[in-house]
Structure 1
Amino acid sequence: MIVNRREILSTFGVAAATGIQSGAVASGSERINEMTVLSRIRNLDVVALFARDMPAMRRFYEDVMEFPLERELYPEWVEYRVGSSLVVMTRLGLMFHDAPTPPGSLSVMLAFKVAPKQVDECAAALVAKGIKLESPPTDQPWQHRTLFFRDPDGNVLEIYADI
Protein backbone atom coordinates (compact mmCIF):
# COMPACT_ATOMS: atom_id res chain seq x y z
CA MET A 1 0.00 0.00 0.00
CA ILE A 2 1.43 3.38 -1.00
CA VAL A 3 0.58 6.25 1.36
CA ASN A 4 1.28 9.84 0.46
CA ARG A 5 2.53 12.54 2.81
CA ARG A 6 -0.89 14.22 3.17
CA GLU A 7 -2.44 10.95 4.35
CA ILE A 8 0.31 10.48 6.91
CA LEU A 9 -0.04 14.06 8.15
CA SER A 10 -3.81 13.90 8.40
CA THR A 11 -3.57 10.62 10.29
CA PHE A 12 -1.64 12.43 13.00
CA GLY A 13 -3.80 15.57 12.92
CA VAL A 14 -1.10 17.72 11.35
CA ALA A 15 -3.35 18.79 8.52
CA ALA A 16 -5.89 20.21 10.92
CA ALA A 17 -3.22 21.86 13.07
CA THR A 18 -1.56 23.54 10.10
CA GLY A 19 -4.76 24.65 8.41
CA ILE A 20 -4.45 22.32 5.43
CA GLN A 21 -7.96 21.40 4.42
CA SER A 22 -8.85 17.93 3.32
CA GLY A 23 -8.28 17.65 -0.40
CA ALA A 24 -6.38 20.97 -0.55
CA VAL A 25 -2.89 20.98 -1.95
CA ALA A 26 -0.42 23.36 -0.33
CA SER A 27 2.34 24.80 -2.43
CA GLY A 28 5.90 23.76 -1.68
CA SER A 29 6.78 27.00 0.14
CA GLU A 30 3.55 26.94 2.18
CA ARG A 31 4.22 23.36 3.20
CA ILE A 32 7.81 24.17 4.22
CA ASN A 33 6.71 27.20 6.27
CA GLU A 34 3.87 25.30 7.89
CA MET A 35 5.98 22.27 8.66
CA THR A 36 9.01 24.09 10.08
CA VAL A 37 7.61 26.85 12.27
CA LEU A 38 7.86 24.69 15.41
CA SER A 39 11.23 23.32 14.37
CA ARG A 40 12.54 26.89 14.58
CA ILE A 41 12.33 26.86 18.37
CA ARG A 42 15.90 27.21 19.60
CA ASN A 43 15.80 27.80 23.36
CA LEU A 44 14.19 26.41 26.46
CA ASP A 45 13.84 29.59 28.49
CA VAL A 46 11.68 28.58 31.46
CA VAL A 47 11.21 25.36 33.41
CA ALA A 48 8.41 25.38 35.98
CA LEU A 49 8.56 22.96 38.89
CA PHE A 50 5.25 22.35 40.64
CA ALA A 51 6.42 21.94 44.22
CA ARG A 52 4.70 19.67 46.70
CA ASP A 53 6.65 21.28 49.56
CA MET A 54 7.29 24.88 48.55
CA PRO A 55 9.32 25.93 51.65
CA ALA A 56 11.63 22.89 51.37
CA MET A 57 12.07 23.39 47.64
CA ARG A 58 12.88 27.08 48.10
CA ARG A 59 15.47 26.31 50.79
CA PHE A 60 17.03 23.66 48.52
CA TYR A 61 17.29 25.78 45.37
CA GLU A 62 18.36 28.93 47.25
CA ASP A 63 20.63 27.49 49.95
CA VAL A 64 21.93 24.21 48.51
CA MET A 65 22.00 24.97 44.79
CA GLU A 66 22.72 28.67 45.44
CA PHE A 67 20.62 29.78 42.49
CA PRO A 68 20.13 33.55 42.48
CA LEU A 69 16.55 34.65 43.02
CA GLU A 70 15.46 36.49 39.88
CA ARG A 71 12.14 37.61 41.33
CA GLU A 72 9.32 36.57 43.61
CA LEU A 73 5.92 37.43 42.22
CA TYR A 74 4.30 36.04 45.39
CA PRO A 75 5.22 33.29 47.85
CA GLU A 76 3.93 30.57 45.53
CA TRP A 77 5.77 31.83 42.42
CA VAL A 78 9.53 32.38 42.54
CA GLU A 79 12.01 32.49 39.69
CA TYR A 80 15.69 31.54 39.80
CA ARG A 81 18.22 32.50 37.17
CA VAL A 82 20.31 29.59 35.88
CA GLY A 83 22.50 30.78 33.02
CA SER A 84 20.16 32.18 30.38
CA SER A 85 17.17 30.21 31.69
CA LEU A 86 14.69 30.57 34.52
CA VAL A 87 13.74 27.79 36.89
CA VAL A 88 10.33 28.68 38.29
CA MET A 89 9.07 27.23 41.54
CA THR A 90 5.32 27.27 41.95
CA ARG A 91 2.51 25.13 43.31
CA LEU A 92 -0.38 23.40 41.64
CA GLY A 93 -3.61 25.33 41.60
CA LEU A 94 -2.27 28.71 40.57
CA MET A 95 -2.59 28.02 36.85
CA PHE A 96 -3.28 24.31 36.50
CA HIS A 97 -5.41 22.09 38.68
CA ASP A 98 -3.91 18.65 38.01
CA ALA A 99 -3.58 16.14 40.78
CA PRO A 100 -0.18 16.39 42.45
CA THR A 101 2.50 13.86 41.60
CA PRO A 102 2.41 11.21 44.33
CA PRO A 103 5.30 11.32 46.80
CA GLY A 104 8.10 9.04 45.71
CA SER A 105 7.22 9.48 42.02
CA LEU A 106 9.76 11.05 39.72
CA SER A 107 8.32 14.10 38.01
CA VAL A 108 11.23 15.71 36.16
CA MET A 109 14.97 15.46 35.63
CA LEU A 110 17.03 18.61 35.28
CA ALA A 111 20.62 18.60 33.97
CA PHE A 112 23.06 21.41 34.67
CA LYS A 113 26.27 21.70 32.66
CA VAL A 114 29.58 22.68 34.24
CA ALA A 115 33.27 22.45 33.33
CA PRO A 116 34.76 18.93 33.66
CA LYS A 117 36.68 19.47 36.92
CA GLN A 118 33.64 21.15 38.48
CA VAL A 119 31.59 17.92 38.53
CA ASP A 120 33.75 16.57 41.38
CA GLU A 121 33.80 19.98 43.09
CA CYS A 122 30.00 20.14 42.94
CA ALA A 123 29.75 16.62 44.36
CA ALA A 124 31.95 17.59 47.31
CA ALA A 125 29.93 20.77 47.90
CA LEU A 126 26.63 18.85 47.83
CA VAL A 127 27.88 16.16 50.23
CA ALA A 128 29.20 18.91 52.56
CA LYS A 129 25.66 20.35 52.59
CA GLY A 130 24.22 16.96 53.54
CA ILE A 131 22.85 16.00 50.12
CA LYS A 132 22.81 12.27 49.36
CA LEU A 133 24.20 11.50 45.92
CA GLU A 134 22.22 8.99 43.86
CA SER A 135 25.34 8.42 41.77
CA PRO A 136 28.80 9.85 42.47
CA PRO A 137 30.84 11.49 39.71
CA THR A 138 31.10 8.92 36.93
CA ASP A 139 32.51 8.97 33.41
CA GLN A 140 29.66 7.76 31.19
CA PRO A 141 29.99 5.97 27.83
CA TRP A 142 28.12 8.87 26.18
CA GLN A 143 31.11 11.14 26.91
CA HIS A 144 29.74 12.92 29.96
CA ARG A 145 31.03 13.03 33.51
CA THR A 146 27.90 13.00 35.63
CA LEU A 147 26.59 13.04 39.17
CA PHE A 148 22.96 12.54 40.16
CA PHE A 149 21.01 13.60 43.26
CA ARG A 150 17.45 14.63 44.18
CA ASP A 151 15.66 17.73 45.35
CA PRO A 152 13.19 17.60 48.28
CA ASP A 153 10.30 16.68 45.96
CA GLY A 154 12.26 13.73 44.55
CA ASN A 155 13.10 15.28 41.17
CA VAL A 156 16.38 13.96 39.78
CA LEU A 157 19.09 16.54 39.22
CA GLU A 158 22.20 15.92 37.18
CA ILE A 159 25.38 17.93 37.10
CA TYR A 160 27.45 16.99 34.08
CA ALA A 161 30.33 17.98 31.87
CA ASP A 162 31.35 16.97 28.37
CA ILE A 163 34.52 14.86 28.46
Structure 2
Amino acid sequence: MLKAIRNLDYTIILCQDVAAMKRFYHELLGFPLYRDFGNWVELQVGASLLTLRERGAGYDGVREHDGPAPQDGTSALQLAFRVTPAEVDSCFSELRQKDVTILLPPTNQASGHRTLFFKDPENNVLEIYADL
Protein backbone atom coordinates (compact mmCIF):
# COMPACT_ATOMS: atom_id res chain seq x y z
CA MET A 1 0.00 0.00 0.00
CA LEU A 2 1.18 3.52 -0.66
CA LYS A 3 2.23 4.90 2.74
CA ALA A 4 0.60 8.29 2.07
CA ILE A 5 -2.92 6.78 2.02
CA ARG A 6 -4.53 7.13 5.45
CA ASN A 7 -8.29 7.20 4.94
CA LEU A 8 -11.11 6.18 2.62
CA ASP A 9 -12.74 9.55 1.91
CA TYR A 10 -15.65 8.70 -0.36
CA THR A 11 -17.24 5.86 -2.27
CA ILE A 12 -18.91 6.47 -5.63
CA ILE A 13 -21.98 4.64 -6.87
CA LEU A 14 -22.36 4.90 -10.65
CA CYS A 15 -26.05 5.61 -11.27
CA GLN A 16 -28.50 5.43 -14.13
CA ASP A 17 -30.92 7.77 -12.29
CA VAL A 18 -29.14 10.05 -9.81
CA ALA A 19 -32.40 11.76 -8.76
CA ALA A 20 -34.05 8.46 -7.77
CA MET A 21 -30.94 7.32 -5.94
CA LYS A 22 -30.71 10.68 -4.13
CA ARG A 23 -34.33 10.32 -2.98
CA PHE A 24 -33.56 6.83 -1.66
CA TYR A 25 -30.32 7.62 0.18
CA HIS A 26 -31.15 11.16 1.31
CA GLU A 27 -34.90 11.18 1.89
CA LEU A 28 -35.63 7.52 2.68
CA LEU A 29 -32.44 6.47 4.49
CA GLY A 30 -31.85 9.96 5.88
CA PHE A 31 -28.20 10.48 4.90
CA PRO A 32 -27.46 14.23 5.15
CA LEU A 33 -26.80 16.03 1.88
CA TYR A 34 -23.25 17.39 1.74
CA ARG A 35 -23.18 18.80 -1.82
CA ASP A 36 -25.37 18.47 -4.91
CA PHE A 37 -24.11 19.21 -8.41
CA GLY A 38 -26.98 17.49 -10.21
CA ASN A 39 -25.16 14.53 -11.74
CA TRP A 40 -22.79 14.30 -8.71
CA VAL A 41 -24.40 14.15 -5.24
CA GLU A 42 -22.43 13.76 -2.00
CA LEU A 43 -24.10 12.39 1.14
CA GLN A 44 -22.51 12.29 4.60
CA VAL A 45 -22.31 8.82 6.17
CA GLY A 46 -20.34 9.06 9.40
CA ALA A 47 -16.83 10.27 8.58
CA SER A 48 -17.14 9.33 4.89
CA LEU A 49 -19.04 10.53 1.85
CA LEU A 50 -21.28 8.34 -0.26
CA THR A 51 -21.26 9.89 -3.73
CA LEU A 52 -23.86 9.29 -6.43
CA ARG A 53 -22.49 9.93 -9.92
CA GLU A 54 -24.27 9.64 -13.22
CA ARG A 55 -22.73 6.81 -15.23
CA GLY A 56 -20.69 8.38 -18.03
CA ALA A 57 -20.54 11.85 -16.43
CA GLY A 58 -17.18 11.69 -14.61
CA TYR A 59 -13.86 13.31 -15.40
CA ASP A 60 -12.34 13.01 -18.88
CA GLY A 61 -10.12 9.96 -18.95
CA VAL A 62 -12.19 8.25 -16.23
CA ARG A 63 -15.81 8.22 -17.39
CA GLU A 64 -14.85 6.24 -20.47
CA HIS A 65 -14.10 3.32 -18.13
CA ASP A 66 -17.51 3.28 -16.41
CA GLY A 67 -18.68 0.37 -18.51
CA PRO A 68 -22.30 -0.65 -18.97
CA ALA A 69 -24.86 -0.71 -16.18
CA PRO A 70 -25.43 -4.11 -14.58
CA GLN A 71 -28.12 -6.27 -16.13
CA ASP A 72 -31.59 -5.94 -14.66
CA GLY A 73 -31.86 -7.74 -11.35
CA THR A 74 -28.11 -7.80 -10.70
CA SER A 75 -26.06 -5.55 -8.44
CA ALA A 76 -22.90 -3.60 -9.10
CA LEU A 77 -21.79 -3.39 -5.48
CA GLN A 78 -22.58 -4.11 -1.85
CA LEU A 79 -22.30 -1.57 0.95
CA ALA A 80 -22.41 -2.40 4.66
CA PHE A 81 -23.46 0.04 7.40
CA ARG A 82 -22.64 -0.76 11.04
CA VAL A 83 -25.17 -0.15 13.83
CA THR A 84 -25.91 -1.66 17.26
CA PRO A 85 -27.69 -5.05 17.46
CA ALA A 86 -31.00 -3.46 18.53
CA GLU A 87 -30.78 -0.96 15.66
CA VAL A 88 -30.67 -3.76 13.07
CA ASP A 89 -34.23 -4.65 14.05
CA SER A 90 -35.46 -1.06 14.24
CA CYS A 91 -33.96 -0.34 10.80
CA PHE A 92 -35.76 -3.42 9.46
CA SER A 93 -39.08 -2.09 10.77
CA GLU A 94 -38.49 1.33 9.20
CA LEU A 95 -37.47 -0.15 5.85
CA ARG A 96 -40.56 -2.37 5.73
CA GLN A 97 -42.80 0.63 6.49
CA LYS A 98 -41.17 2.44 3.57
CA ASP A 99 -41.71 -0.53 1.19
CA VAL A 100 -38.00 -1.14 0.60
CA THR A 101 -37.16 -4.47 -1.04
CA ILE A 102 -35.81 -6.71 1.73
CA LEU A 103 -33.48 -9.52 0.64
CA LEU A 104 -32.86 -11.06 4.07
CA PRO A 105 -34.54 -10.00 7.32
CA PRO A 106 -32.50 -9.62 10.53
CA THR A 107 -30.50 -12.80 10.99
CA ASN A 108 -27.75 -13.86 13.40
CA GLN A 109 -24.88 -15.12 11.25
CA ALA A 110 -22.22 -17.68 12.20
CA SER A 111 -19.65 -14.91 11.59
CA GLY A 112 -20.84 -13.15 14.75
CA HIS A 113 -22.89 -10.50 12.97
CA ARG A 114 -26.58 -9.68 13.05
CA THR A 115 -27.40 -8.73 9.46
CA LEU A 116 -30.17 -7.23 7.36
CA PHE A 117 -29.93 -7.10 3.56
CA PHE A 118 -31.97 -4.93 1.19
CA LYS A 119 -31.76 -3.23 -2.22
CA ASP A 120 -31.55 0.33 -3.45
CA PRO A 121 -33.50 1.47 -6.57
CA GLU A 122 -30.72 0.27 -8.90
CA ASN A 123 -30.46 -3.18 -7.27
CA ASN A 124 -27.27 -2.56 -5.31
CA VAL A 125 -27.14 -4.76 -2.22
CA LEU A 126 -27.10 -2.90 1.08
CA GLU A 127 -26.39 -4.44 4.46
CA ILE A 128 -27.08 -3.13 7.92
CA TYR A 129 -25.14 -5.15 10.46
CA ALA A 130 -23.98 -5.27 14.06
CA ASP A 131 -21.26 -7.18 15.85
CA LEU A 132 -22.75 -9.62 18.35
| Larger helix proportion of the pair | 1
Report the residue type matching 1:83 in the other structure.
G
- The change in CA–CA distance for 1:56 and 1:118 in structure 2 (over 3 A counts) is same
CA distance in 1, matches of 2:96, 2:49: 25
Fraction of identical pairs, as percent: 44
Alignment of 1:41-120 (within 5 A): 41-72=5-36, 74-95=37-58, 96-97=63-64, 98-120=67-89
CA distance in 1, matches of 2:123, 2:3: 32
Structure exhibiting the larger radius of gyration computed from Cα positions: 1
RMSD over equivalenced CA pairs, Å: 1.4
Report the residue type matching 2:2 in the other structure.
L
Question: Following TM superposition, by how much is the alpha carbon of 1:104 offset from its aligned partner in structure 2, in angstroms?
Answer: 2.0
The equivalent of 1:143 in structure 2 is 112
CA distance in 2, matches of 1:108, 1:115: 23
The equivalent of 1:121 in structure 2 is 90
Q: How many residue pairs get matched?
A: 126
Larger RCO, structure (CA 8 Å, separation 6 or more): 2
CA distance in 2, matches of 1:127, 1:141: 25
Q: TM-score, normalised by structure 2?
A: 0.89
Question: Following TM superposition, by how much is the alpha carbon of 1:162 offset from its aligned partner in structure 2, in angstroms?
Answer: 0.3
Unaligned runs of 5+ in 1: 1-36
Question: Following TM superposition, by how much is the alpha carbon of 1:149 offset from its aligned partner in structure 2, in angstroms?
Answer: 0.1
The equivalent of 1:38 in structure 2 is 2
CA distance in 2, matches of 1:117, 1:104: 30
Q: TM-score, normalised by structure 1?
A: 0.73
CA distance in 2, matches of 1:144, 1:137: 10
Q: Secondary structure at the match of 2:76?
A: coil
| Larger strand proportion of the pair | 2
CA distance in 2, matches of 1:40, 1:114: 30
Report the residue type matching 2:118 in the other structure.
F
Unaligned runs of 5+ in 2: none
The equivalent of 2:101 in structure 1 is 132
CA distance in 1, matches of 2:8, 2:128: 18
CA distance in 2, matches of 1:112, 1:103: 24
Q: Secondary structure at the match of 1:112?
A: strand
Question: Following TM superposition, by how much is the alpha carbon of 1:42 offset from its aligned partner in structure 2, in angstroms?
Answer: 4.2
